[in-house]
Structure 1
Amino acid sequence: MPERDEIDRLSVTPRVVVRGVGSIGQRHARVLTRLGADVALWPVRPRPAPLPDPPTSGSAVQTLNDSSGPAALASADLVVIATDTGRHVADAIEALDAGAVRVLVEKPVAPTRLLADALATHPRASDVWVAAPLRAHEAFRHLASVVRDIGAPVSAHVRCQSWLPDWRPDRDYRESYSARLDEGGVLRDLVHELDYAEVLLGRPTLLGAHLEHAGPLDIEAEQAATLLWCTDTATVTCRLDYVTRPAARGITVRGPDGVLDWDVTTATVTHLDTTGRPTTTTFPADLDRDAVMATQARAALELTPDAKPAQRHTAGAPATLAEGLATLELCDRAKELS
């Protein structure tokens, strides 16, 4: 795993506001500060004590409040929206209207596609990124570059399976957003899998979906989902769940000239040729979550969402708003079918 000071700092000092200071907001702040950005944290609710500065090489992180926050938005090169899902659209619009150059919204954009319409139709919608850190994995970018080596993919299986109580052992999982009926559930929570599968295999047409609310977890949201869709070249199955141990995450793609398997948990891509002989490549940097998020953050600052897809994908950039909304539509359709 790379040392933390191996992350190259930006050549300029962008001004960044991180709206929301939960675990993901503080991670964004830490990563952006290490990249050399001037970062300010703006909590949604007043904090009883000062927030700790992310560990970095001497850079302090400013804490804003509702009086100083709006002015900071106006001068920001990037605003990261890391609030509750139900606030994403309103917080993103506030940043755009204030004059922020670009906005990076955490996934999903909104609880449903309909609730994202105000952002989708905003005059500055083209300045919005949607977080998609799996695109920033070196292993995924390698997979995307060699997927045609197995011929036109004819089938694939996407998987993201884990045990929700293990996510944050120091917190009751039933109190997390993942458990909430209106904001959580595996479809919204694990939407990254739907996003990267579309990048790799093309736009999906959903054929079937089965959502499971019953199970070992005491939550209102769905605990598992199994989806079936097709693209122009492949038929895809997808399993998302909160109820599996040990965790499994990745994709297996099969074609007439071999098989490719990306195992996210081990940061490996394995290529089986037509005889079954394996060649495995490991990408150890992908095991450092901060390093992956730094790749995404750098691309979000250095590129624009209207850059060419090949350039965005090579750089490990986030999803565009249109792409983020497309995966949200797929989630909505899965709920309808189920």
Structure 2
Amino acid sequence: MPSLSPSSLRVVVRGSGSIGQRHARVFRQEGADVSLWPVRDRGLPPGTVDDATGARLLDDASGPAALRDTLVVVATDTARHVSDALQALDAGARTVLVEKPVAPTAADAAALTDHPRSGDVWVAAPLRAHEAFRHLHRLVGRLDDGGSAHVWSQSWLPDWRPDRDYRESYSARPGEGGVLRDLVHEIDYATVLFGPPTLLGAGVSTTGPLDIEADQAASLLWTAGSFDVAARLDYVTRPTTRGVVVRSPDGVLEWDVVRATIRHTTADGDVTEQAFDHDLDRDIVMGTQARAALELRPWAPAPVRIPRGAPANLAEGVAAVRLCDEARALSTSRADAAASASDHPEKNS
């Protein structure tokens, strides 16, 4: 499969918020020629060097023409991910890397999935780029008899961006944020580890200590191949905890994302723990993802992409969002049924 060195491909980052700036900085560190196209025009002439990233700035006049033959990173608000990705594809971008989630809902992504160049779209999935995850993926692949898994990501939303009121962030918006969209990474990597999910149960809550309309917590249960998977995602836990425990007849595997460790307990009770210190540096992790996005194509086979820490392809990114849609729908239907039963107790007497 042909590949390109990072320096042979130009990168345009659309959106200059915190994640857009990080993408710009990381791709420059990987040797790419990077331009930054903010959503809000800064009134600076094209070619001005951005102080925060070192990338050259584009504006709305120069941006569209700069997209051709580039890797375009879409790091704008979730509601405009699809339209920005379509603009890049139609302008002749070589590939597009869309920040997660690819769209607010799977249905919202239809125009992108129906595009004739949908195979050239990546969806950001940096947990796949963790060295610990790739090691865990190899270990799970050696389990012969399936088992069960508990996946979780629990944190306190106000701590995410201490310099900004969390109620004004996209995370608080019911149509763009909420834990299912924000923490879709967990659903994505669980699908890589265990296979396509079939949802069995879900509870999604918009109530809690945070003054937001978006979902604050979600609990999901699904089957995937020979595994039963339970997931807990929330914005209402301190201190932060994140990881997965896999239990099977062959022993127990534990990934502590916060500590960047893999703990392996064999069936005989022998315990080994391995640390992956580079995973604690977000720029190193995103650099792994950036190199893979530059050197591979989204349509490369999974056995090629996964060991390289590549992002998700579009089909995988949409599948993760679809499970979130199903969880919200299932939770709502069960809540409605419970409310109806309480309004009409005579039906249950």
For the aligned pair, the TM-score class normalised by the smaller chain equals over 0.9
Q: Secondary structure at the match of 1:229?
A: strand
Alignment of 1:152-231 (within 5 A): 152-231=145-224
The answer on whether the counterparts of 1:269 and 1:280 sit within 8 Å (CA) in structure 2 is yes
Partner of 1:5: none
The answer on whether the counterparts of 1:42 and 1:63 sit within 8 Å (CA) in structure 2 is yes
Alignment of 1:282-321 (within 5 A): 282-321=275-314
CA distance in 2, matches of 1:241, 1:119: 29
* Structure 2 residue 327 is matched with structure 1 residue 329: no
CA distance in 1, matches of 2:281, 2:110: 35
The residue type equivalent to 1:66 in the other structure is D
Counterpart selection for 1:70 from 61, 64, 75: 64
CA distance in 1, matches of 2:52, 2:286: 15
The residue type equivalent to 2:51 in the other structure is D
User: 1:54, CA displacement in angstroms?
Assistant: 4.4
Partner of 1:53: 51
Runs of at least 4 residues of structure 1 off by over 4 A? Answer: 48-51
Partner of 1:246: 239
Q: Secondary structure at the match of 1:94?
A: helix
CA distance in 1, matches of 2:266, 2:109: 44
The answer on whether the counterparts of 1:10 and 1:35 sit within 8 Å (CA) in structure 2 is no
The structure-2 alpha-carbon separation of the partners of 1:329 and 1:11, relative to structure 1 and needing over 3 Å to count, comes to: closer
Counterpart selection for 1:232 from 225, 237, 247: 225
The answer on whether the counterparts of 1:149 and 1:257 sit within 8 Å (CA) in structure 2 is no
Say how many residue pairs are matched. Answer: 325
**Unaligned 5+ runs, structure 1:** 1-8
Q: Secondary structure at the match of 1:12?
A: helix
Counterpart selection for 2:24 from 15, 25, 29: 29
The residue type equivalent to 2:154 in the other structure is Q
Identity %: 64
Measured against aligned partners, the alpha-carbon deviations of 1:185-231 in whole angstroms (never above 9, x if no partner) come to: 00000000000000000000000100111100000000000000001
User: 1:150, CA displacement in angstroms?
Assistant: 4.4
Counterpart selection for 2:126 from 133, 154, 159: 133
Measured against aligned partners, the alpha-carbon deviations of 1:23-56 in whole angstroms (never above 9, x if no partner) come to: 000000000001111100001111267774346x
CA distance in 1, matches of 2:178, 2:6: 40
CA distance in 2, matches of 1:152, 1:108: 32
CA distance in 2, matches of 1:53, 1:103: 25
CA distance in 2, matches of 1:17, 1:52: 13
The answer on whether the counterparts of 1:153 and 1:253 sit within 8 Å (CA) in structure 2 is no
Partner of 2:36: 41
The structure-2 alpha-carbon separation of the partners of 1:337 and 1:288, relative to structure 1 and needing over 3 Å to count, comes to: same
Partner of 2:90: 97
Q: Secondary structure at the match of 1:90?
A: helix
Counterpart selection for 1:13 from 4, 8, 13: 8
Partner of 1:270: 263
The answer on whether the counterparts of 1:31 and 1:294 sit within 8 Å (CA) in structure 2 is yes
CA distance in 1, matches of 2:95, 2:39: 20
Partner of 1:256: 249
Partner of 1:6: none
User: 1:276, CA displacement in angstroms?
Assistant: 2.8
* Structure 2 residue 112 is matched with structure 1 residue 119: yes
Could you tell me the TM-score, scaled by structure 1's length? 0.93
Larger radius of gyration: 2
The residue type equivalent to 1:71 in the other structure is A
The answer on whether the counterparts of 1:150 and 1:254 sit within 8 Å (CA) in structure 2 is no
Greater mean alpha carbon deviation, residues 132-141 or residues 67-76? 67-76
Partner of 1:4: none
- CA-based RMSD of the aligned residues comes to 1.5
The residue type equivalent to 1:269 in the other structure is I
Q: Secondary structure at the match of 2:40?
A: coil
CA distance in 2, matches of 1:314, 1:187: 26
The answer on whether the counterparts of 1:29 and 1:54 sit within 8 Å (CA) in structure 2 is no
Could you tell me the TM-score, scaled by structure 2's length? 0.91
Partner of 2:334: none
CA distance in 1, matches of 2:63, 2:250: 55
